[in-house]
Structure 1
């Protein structure tokens, strides 16, 4: 209310408090989402959706938010799946956000869409730090962080990838990661065709 009358230290203190409040709200939303899942109260609105259109929409949002270059390799065919549009959007935004956080600002993030006999695969690839092999099997666990110091600096709660896994599995899919230190990571979402 007194924004124009604040001293610089007061303004900085309020910005810090607002940032912490946002982080707490995100943590509570993540915990609520996981609690719903644990209790079987998570609901999926499974409909026929165009994965191609959804990827284009999410990439447009992510580019506006992050100012990052995102390359698309969507193939020449329309891809339709049975899924929950809002939950899948949440998954993609989370994976792109992680790619942005854990790679240098001048590197490109790539999304690739491919098809297998009975499934559609969507990959989110970055050229970032990579994840040590010993940690790759655990990164989908709740509250697991490869590096606590780095997670604090990026604002992570250690719940994002757990939520990604839960949502994808709830839509009949799976998510995996392949990563090499110093070369980057590729998260692959596999979902059944419509």
Structure 2
């Protein structure tokens, strides 16, 4: 069975890809970074989600020789000219401090009227399966919505409690895992990778 390395230690990302593969009828063995020998992971210095995802996937392929998938994702807010963008995980300074990031963003948008609170979750996913420039596929999924005025819901993580998807009255943190999978930016991007992954099986 084809092995596919997911360049992450996040079990939720592995589970999400597993569901996408199962839905597409693809049988692959998924490995995480915890399943392979450690290697130097370059810092995320790209200016775009696509650059960061491709760099992570290429590092993983080069270190292991396994086809590798990586994603870089974040929140873009219209009133902040697309920020926090690639800085989403460290918007308040410390990497991964979800509550501080969320509170800073709400503070920055406090005086922004409802009609200017448009936003989107963005995920770029990269698949690298060989050493050449042509041995890579990069796709992008977007989940449009608006920023709420206060957090709602206990599910999800990151900015989910203040993101209300278009067409919904509930925040992303009020959706079930299945509902989020069906609509989310990462789910959309991973689905776009299926044709390339099918060729590896």
TM over 0.5: no
Ranked by relative contact order (alpha carbons within 8 Å, sequence separation 6 or more), the top structure is 1
